[in-house]
Structure 1
Amino acid sequence: LREVNEQQLWQLDFLIYLQIKCGVGSYDEMFTNIPRVFLALSRCYVEDRSSKVAWLNRSGIIFAGEDKWSLDPRVELEKRNPLEYSLRIQKVDVYDEGSYTCSVQTLHHPKTSQVYLIVQVPPKISNISSDITVNEGSNVTLVCMANGRPEPVITWRHLTPTGREFEGEEEYLEILGITREQSGKYECKAANEVASADVKQVRVTVNYPPTITESKSNEAATGRQALLRCEASAVPTPDFEWYRDDTRINSANGLEIKSTGSQSLLMVANVTEEHYGNYTCVAANKLGVTNASLYLYSKYGRGERDVQVVLTNTCLCSKYTVTL
């Protein structure tokens, strides 16, 4: 090697290419973040062609001069001019993270410069709880695991009109004594600074026994149609039954029962005196049973009749309502 003077000092630059952006590092040490799958390019320059140069990492020598010692096919030299000695890494992976050293040997002073490569990885949810069904009052634990570098921050949110976000940044969401109001979709979001957050959802179904939410009595005149309505809230959807004086009613003899979802209707096609009175609506599922009383009233009250009186002798026809 021939001797070099102070004006012939080698120089080292480190460039990281992310899509179309690049940054230039210092000569001594630089911490650089690059997303996985992009290209990492470490540029090393010398001003003296006789200098011996090598690239090393924690595993050993990568290149000594132009001789490649590494078996990694993704690693190669880039020499666009005689004084350039750059290290290129294709398809950067997390295992590439670490210290890289460019070592220059001269007659007077061996010189090294080091750069530390930090590989960033977008957040990715790797595991989330499956949709679950539980009974009201149970304790529920939802799990959301995510990978990424930096480590993703995980947040949970109950997807309701209020959109409540739970405090804390935890992989596990604990719900103690869950209520029916806490059923629905829960969103897990994993976020870091590298890319857009990864979001997934889990549905929680809460079973609870029936509760009668509406029971509407009605009134009707004889010979008319009548309708009694009963509604109940329950999960699973309740089954309905109708009773009159402890006797179960079926769809027959002018009576028809129509039950759809949370509502049941008892319809009377042609009301007679025998139809007036108390009816019981029963709603049941596997968790419980409840009932409500409904009444079918006479439109004119007890004992009233609609009577027509015709005075044929005078040809004067009138209509009266009398109480017998």
Structure 2
Amino acid sequence: MWNGQLFVFLRIFCQLLTYAYVCNAFQEEWTMHNKSNVTIPIGNITVSLGREAVFNCFVNITGRYKVNKVAWVRAEDHTILSIGTKVVTHNSRIFVSHDNLYTWQMRIKQVKESDRGCYLCEVNTNAMGTQEACLEVNVPPDIFNEDTSGDLSASEGENATLWCKASGHPPPRITWKKENGEPIFIRTNLRTFSTVDTYNGTNLNFWKVDRSQMGTYLCIASNDVPPAVSKRLSLYVNFSPSIKVPNQLLGAPVQTDVQLECYVEAYPNTINYWVKNRSEMLLNGTKYLVREERVGYRISMWLVIKGFTAKDAGTYNCVSTNSLGKSEGTLRLYEIKFNPINTFNNRAELIGDFSETDKGPRSKEVIISNTANRRYITSTLIFTLLFNIYNIR
């Protein structure tokens, strides 16, 4: 009898346990259905290429299987990236973690451009919850070498264009600057130019290019994603030589050093030399010092005649030639003669013809190297000129 009663008691006890388990299970599922939701928006993210993107999804969910109820999904193609904390996509750069409370975190390391897009945090219960966040990937600029003009050569008067293209996200801006800090010359008509410090645009156009526009330009690409990048592009303008002579007529006393000057503009590079009386080429030595200096397409030429004598008087030519042409500048050098100091009337007399030095604004007395001679001759000239003016009056 007692055995039968014990069996009935045990049977009832087991039924009660089963009922309690079912009730608890029902209560657990009911809690998930009614309380599971994504409570805080994730928020969009912007990162630079190669950095790490971190998404935090805050979910209020309870229950024994709550971990497996949360999934990360790529919105564009509905690719499932993870279920719970397990990554199911074949992407070794994605990591998912859970802090055992309310935060599910997805990290994408070494972000690529292909990661750009939107992602979903989904709570897969009967009352399904979803939050969406988008990833923007910024890419620093990079100049396309194959789609950039490179160095350019053009003849003066032709049209020329430097161009430069770059990639990046957001799309980069192209700015042009002159490498040496000088302004950029933009032709407005046949005779005039406007100047700008910078020029914006993919193409830098030169209409009827001029020698003043020759130089090295910097193409700078920037989109506020560091670092900005630049590329050097050189513009060469070809033209035949032209020569300017600042002083075409010079006079000098004997036993002084005389310097002759010519200024050349030409490109490509020139061969420059001096000749006397259109026959004798002058070379460096004890009598002559030949020197030149180049800055861009400008060349300065100097000829120093040491210990000037009457035989050195004559016509001198500076000559410049390149593949496009030849140019000459002419200078005339003459002797200035003085009488010794006249002790009787205490004045100096100029024997040379004064009209030679008054032939126009280009005539000029040369610089004398000897300081004592310079002072003596200068004071003598001034005294003689004042005396002659006084006598004329």
Task: Write the deviation string for residues 7-64 of structure 1: whole angstroms up to 9, x where unpaired.
Answer: 61422546xxxxxxxxx62xxxxx4322122222222224233452221113411112
User: Where does residue 49 of structure 2 map in the other structure?
Assistant: 36
Opposite residue 226 of structure 2, the aligned amino acid is A
Opposite residue 141 of structure 2, the aligned amino acid is P
Unaligned segments of structure 1, at least 5 residues:
15-23, 26-30, 311-315
Tell me, in whole angstroms, the C-alpha distance in 1 between the residues paired with 2:284 and 2:115: 79
Q: Structure 1's 68 and 284: CA in aligned 2 closer, same or farther, altered over 3 A? A: same
Task: Write the deviation string for residues 257-298 of structure 1: whole angstroms up to 9, x where unpaired.
Answer: 503232333343454444323222222222221112211112
Pick from 284, 287, 292 the counterpart of residue 321 of structure 2.
284
- TM-score, length of structure 2 as denominator length: 0.65
- TM-score, length of structure 1 as denominator length: 0.77
Task: Write the deviation string for residues 124-177 of structure 1: whole angstroms up to 9, x where unpaired.
Answer: 33435444444333433323222221111112223443462455432x322232
- Equivalent residue of 1:114, what SS? strand
Opposite residue 207 of structure 1, the aligned amino acid is N
Pick from 167, 184, 189 the counterpart of residue 215 of structure 2.
184
Tell me, in whole angstroms, the C-alpha distance in 2 between the residues paired with 1:147 and 1:265: 51
Contact 1:240 1:284 in 2 (8 A): yes
Contact 1:278 1:295 in 2 (8 A): yes
Q: Structure 1's 219 and 56: CA in aligned 2 closer, same or farther, altered over 3 A? A: same
Shift in Å, 1:224: 4.4
User: Where does residue 38 of structure 2 map in the other structure?
Assistant: 11
User: Where does residue 70 of structure 1 map in the other structure?
Assistant: 89
Which is greater in Rg?
2
Pick from 148, 154, 161 the counterpart of residue 182 of structure 2.
161
User: Where does residue 232 of structure 1 map in the other structure?
Assistant: 264
Task: Write the deviation string for residues 72-104 of structure 1: whole angstroms up to 9, x where unpaired.
Answer: 111121111154332221111111111211222
Q: Structure 1 or 2: larger strand share?
A: 1
Opposite residue 120 of structure 2, the aligned amino acid is T
Tell me, in whole angstroms, the C-alpha distance in 1 between the residues paired with 2:90 and 2:161: 47
Q: Structure 1's 246 and 64: CA in aligned 2 closer, same or farther, altered over 3 A? A: same
1:242 aligns with 2:255: no
Opposite residue 3 of structure 1, the aligned amino acid is W
Pick from 279, 283, 290 the counterpart of residue 258 of structure 1.
290
Tell me, in whole angstroms, the C-alpha distance in 2 between the residues paired with 1:37 and 1:12: 30
- Equivalent residue of 1:291, what SS? strand
- Equivalent residue of 1:4, what SS? helix
Contact 1:153 1:169 in 2 (8 A): yes
Opposite residue 231 of structure 1, the aligned amino acid is Y
Q: How do 1:92-171 residues align onto structure 2 when only pairs under 5 Å count?
A: 92-107=111-126, 109-127=127-145, 128-159=148-179, 160-162=181-183, 164-165=196-197, 167-170=199-202
Contact 1:121 1:149 in 2 (8 A): yes
Contact 2:243 2:265 in 1 (8 A): yes
Tell me, in whole angstroms, the C-alpha distance in 1 between the residues paired with 2:182 and 2:308: 45
- Equivalent residue of 1:293, what SS? strand
Tell me, in whole angstroms, the C-alpha distance in 2 between the residues paired with 1:6 and 1:138: 78
Q: Structure 1's 72 and 244: CA in aligned 2 closer, same or farther, altered over 3 A? A: same
User: Where does residue 18 of structure 1 map in the other structure?
Assistant: none
- Equivalent residue of 1:229, what SS? strand
Indicate the RMSD between aligned Cα atoms, in angstroms: 3.4
Q: Structure 1's 249 and 3: CA in aligned 2 closer, same or farther, altered over 3 A? A: same
Opposite residue 36 of structure 1, the aligned amino acid is L
Q: Structure 1's 308 and 88: CA in aligned 2 closer, same or farther, altered over 3 A? A: closer
Q: Percent identity?
A: 26
Tell me, in whole angstroms, the C-alpha distance in 1 between the residues paired with 2:53 and 2:351: 101
Residue-pair matches, total: 299
User: Where does residue 200 of structure 1 map in the other structure?
Assistant: 231
Contact 1:257 1:264 in 2 (8 A): no
Further displaced range: 223-232 or 79-88:
223-232
Opposite residue 40 of structure 1, the aligned amino acid is A
Tell me, in whole angstroms, the C-alpha distance in 2 between the residues paired with 1:152 and 1:252: 56
Tell me, in whole angstroms, the C-alpha distance in 1 between the residues paired with 2:331 and 2:311: 15
